[in-house]
Amino acid sequence: MSDPMNIHKNSKPTLELENKLESFYDAITPDPAFVHELGLQIAQRSQQVSASRPGFLAWLKNSLRRRPAFAASMAVLAMLILAITLAGPRQVLASVERLLGFVPGSGFVQPGETRVLADPVEAKQGEVTLRIEKVIADSRQTEISLTASGLPREKFGPQSGEQDPQLRAYLLLPDGQQYRSNMSMSGIGDTLQASYIFDPLPKDVVQFTLVLPRLPGVPAAFAPENWSVPIRLVTAQISPTGSPSELPVAPGYTPANNLVSAQGVNVEVAQVGQAAQETGLQIQYHWDNPEWQQLNDAELTLSDQNGHIYSQLHEPMELSGAPESLRTYRFQPFELGASQAVLTVNRLQFTFKSPAHFTFDPREGIQVGQPLDISSQPGSKMEIAGVPVQLLSVTINPGADEGSKLQPAHYHLEVLLQDTPLDGLALENTTMSLNPELMVSSSTEILPGNQMKITIDLPEIPGRPLALYFSRGEVSLKGSWVIHWDLPGK
Please check whether the two domains, 119-232 and 254-351+481-486, share a CATH topology. Answer: yes
Average pLDDT over residues 49-60: 36
d(CA 115, CA 118): 9
Collapsed DSSP state (helix, strand, coil) of residue 156: coil
Distances (CA, A) of 225 to 95, 126, 191, 218: 46, 11, 17, 10
The average pLDDT across 308-337 equals: 83
pLDDT band at residue 303 under the 50/70/90 scheme: very high
C-alpha to C-alpha distance for 425 and 352, rounded to whole angstroms: 13
Domain 119-232 class, CATH top level: mainly beta
Listed in sequence order, the residues at least 6 apart from 18 whose beta carbon sits closer than 8 Å to its beta carbon are 64, 65, 68, 71
For CA atoms 37, 39, 42, 43, the dihedral sign is negative
Which residues are CB-neighbours of 238 under 8 A, at least 6 positions away?
101, 111, 248, 249, 250, 251
Nearest CA-CA partner of 457 in 377, 406, 402, 379: 402
pLDDT band at residue 391, thresholds of 50, 70 and 90?
very high
Domain boundaries, the chain: 15-87, 119-232, 254-351+481-486, 355-470
Burial class, 198, CB count within 10 angstroms (exposed 0-12 / middle 13-18 / buried 19+): buried
149: Cβ contacts below 8 Å, ≥ 6 apart: 128, 129, 131, 190, 191, 192
- If you count DSSP H runs as helices and E runs as strands, how many of each does the chain have, helices first? 6, 33
State the burial class of residue 195 (Cβ atoms within 10 Å of its Cβ: 0-12, 13-18, 19+): middle
Residue 309 has pLDDT above 80, yes or no: yes
CA–CA separation, 257 and 217 (whole Å): 46
From residue 30, how far is each of 18, 81, 89 by CA, in Å? 20, 7, 8
Q: In what order do the strands lie in the sheet with 292-304?
A: 309-310, 292-304, 340-353, 472-486, 425-430
pLDDT digits (tens, 9 = 90+) for 273-291: 999 999 999 999 999 999 9
Note the pLDDT tens digit of each residue in 83-124.
334 444 444 444 444 458 888 888 888 888 899 998 899 999
Please state the rounded mean pLDDT for residues 295-306.
Answer: 94
Q: How far apart are CA 465 and CA 357, in angstroms?
A: 13
Give dist(CA 55, CA 150) in Å, integer: 54
Q: What percent of the chain has pLDDT over 90?
A: 46
Kindly provide the b/e burial profile for residues 30-66, where b requires at least 16 CB atoms within 10 angstroms of the residue's own CB. Answer: beeebbbebbbebbeeeeebeeeeeebeebbeebbee
Determine the distance from the C-alpha atom of residue 221 to the mean position of all C-alpha atoms in its chain, rounded to a whole number. Answer: 36
Strand partners, 470: none
Q: Which amino acid is at 390?
A: Q
- 217-267 confidence digits (pLDDT tens): 788 888 899 999 999 999 988 877 777 888 888 889 999 999 999 999 999
Note the CATH number of domain 254-351+481-486. Answer: 2.60.40.1640
